[in-house]
Amino acid sequence: MCNIAVISVHTSPLARPGTRDSGGLNVYIGELSRELGRRYHRMDIFTRRSDAATPEIVDVDANTRIISVTAGPYDLDKEQVRLYLPEFLRGVIAFQERTAARYDLIHSHYWLSAWVGQALKRRWQTPHVIMFHTLGEAKNRAGAVEPEPAYRIEAEREVARDADRIVCASEGEREVLERLYCVPPERIAVIPCGVDLERFAPLDPAAARSELGLDNGAPIVLFVGRIEPLKGIDMLLQAVARLETRFRLMIVGGDEKDSGRRAGLAALARELEIGERVEFVDAVPHDQLPLYYNAAAVCVIPSHYESFGLVALEAMACGVPVVASDVGGLRDTVRDGQTGYLVPWSCPEPFAERLELLLGNQELRGSLGLLARSAVERFRWSEVAGRVEDIYHELVSRYRGVTVGSHAYEDSAS
Ligand code: UDP
């Protein structure tokens, strides 16, 4: 059993995925903690307080707690959070001292947290594992609409140099870490993300549509995710505007705080004369998303960059074919022509072509969907947790000066 300090400064696992900065990272931390908790590891997840109401300690389950640390005003943009990192760090240290908590390892998520994790590593003399979830260099090379600043990339380089292990979810990210951040291969572990195969499973599409109160009219093209420029939603609108087949586009994600971006997208849809066929749906709780995937004919992921892309796995697990950009982690999950399509050009025409093909051919959708479901059977959160746990055991043993395998350590530590 290990005591893990999980650092997630800029977004809380309690936040609803699909809103503002909450997305794949939040789902990842939630699922990983649940699985590690089942294996009797204890997790304290430290996050920046973003409201007055949440108690300092929230027990998620018997082994996982969320600790809210006050650092800066409640409502901050991600870009501003870095200014309050020293205050956050002091808050974590104060909590640890006050409660006499003992941590065997630090696991940081995203570069802002990695900065905190690195300082804690020095203070506590414990191993530090980082998962960046996304890297500034990778986003910039993918032509990010809003380029990542040099200070982020500098900070990533520095913490990467010092980390005991960096977990990344795709081969593409491993390459970026090796080539652009000069991280030696032995300090990188590629562990794909997982999907809950019981929650995300094929359902009768007509039943899913009726449960959502949708008529059985035009086939649904589905987008699920945060409303942000990197997701390429504007390009998706331009793609569907080219379709000759009937369609209805559902854009699921975001909330009232995204009203500005949504209004811009709605204006573009009107300009393209498809305003009536596009529907914006506020972020849907994760456990209700299977209904949306199952109601859809196809799920589109038009991102300019995607470090992994959980949405692709979830749609595929529901037996729904995916049309995705040929970028980042999507290359590791979508098999072009077998479980969906990968589109190598960041422009609307090839997306429209693939969509037209799928919308006009139910049989093709069925066969790709079937293969998609079986292709994702190997992505399980229990598998992810098992591999992360092996890293924890190895590093904790090494720091304790015990050079034994994970099972021997388990015996000696329990
Ligand atoms: N998500 C959700 N409700 C929504 C929109 C998104 O639960 O309304 C979840 C989605 O199911 C997925 C995550 O948010 O698990 C998004 O992860 P992904 O890796 O696709 O994108 P990221 O947010 O990491 O860029």
Q: Where are the domains of the chain?
A: 3-194+380-413, 205-378
Judge residue 130's burial from the number of C-beta atoms within 10 Å of its C-beta, 0-12 exposed, 13-18 middle, 19 or more buried.
buried
Separation CA 214–CA 263 (nearest Å): 23
pLDDT digits (tens, 9 = 90+) for 36-45: 999 999 999 9
Separation CA 336–CA 270 (nearest Å): 32
Nearest CA to ligand 1 atom 14: 23
Residue 215: the pLDDT is 83
Rg of the chain taking only CA atoms, in angstroms: 22
**Does the domain made of 205-378 have the CATH classification 3.40.50.10420?**
no
- CA 310 – ligand 1 centroid, Å: 6
Q: Is 27 in the pocket of ligand 1 (CB under 6 A)?
A: yes
The whole-chain average pLDDT of the chain stands at: 94
Q: Is 253 in the pocket of ligand 1 (CB under 6 A)?
A: yes
Three-class DSSP category at 35? helix
The tokens describing 272, both together, are 């393209």
- CA 97 – ligand 1 centroid, Å: 35
Residue 410: the pLDDT is 40
- CA 340 – ligand 1 centroid, Å: 19
Q: Is 308 in the pocket of ligand 1 (CB under 6 A)?
A: yes
- CA 402 – ligand 1 centroid, Å: 39
* Site to substitute for ligand 1 among 110, 286, 303, 304, most atoms within 8 A of C-beta: 286
pLDDT digits (tens, 9 = 90+) for 17-34: 988 889 999 999 999 999
Three-class DSSP category at 361? coil
- CA 284 – ligand 1 centroid, Å: 10
Q: Along the 414 residues of the chain, how does pLDDT read in single tens digits? A: 899 999 999 999 889 898 888 999 999 999 999 999 999 999 999 999 999 999 999 999 999 999 999 999 999 988 899 999 999 999 999 999 999 999 999 999 999 999 999 999 999 999 999 999 999 999 998 887 778 999 999 999 999 999 999 999 999 999 999 999 999 999 999 999 999 999 999 999 999 999 999 987 899 999 999 999 999 999 999 999 999 999 999 999 999 989 999 999 999 999 999 999 999 999 999 999 999 999 999 999 999 999 999 999 999 999 999 999 999 999 999 999 999 999 998 899 999 999 999 999 999 999 999 999 999 999 999 999 999 999 999 999 999 886 444 443 343 333
Separation CA 65–CA 393 (nearest Å): 21
Domains 3-194+380-413 and 205-378 belong to one CATH topology: yes
- CA 125 – ligand 1 centroid, Å: 34
Terminal C-alpha separation, the chain? 6
Residue 405: the pLDDT is 43
Buried b vs exposed e over 60-93: b needs ≥16 C-beta within 10 Å?
Answer: beebbbbbbbebbeeebeeeebbebbeebbebbb
Q: Is 24 in the pocket of ligand 1 (CB under 6 A)?
A: yes
Residue 402: the pLDDT is 62
Residue 412: the pLDDT is 37
Give domain 3-194+380-413's CATH superfamily: Glycogen Phosphorylase B; (3.40.50.2000)
Nearest CA to ligand 1 atom 22: 24
Q: Is 314 in the pocket of ligand 1 (CB under 6 A)?
A: yes
Q: Is 232 in the pocket of ligand 1 (CB under 6 A)?
A: no
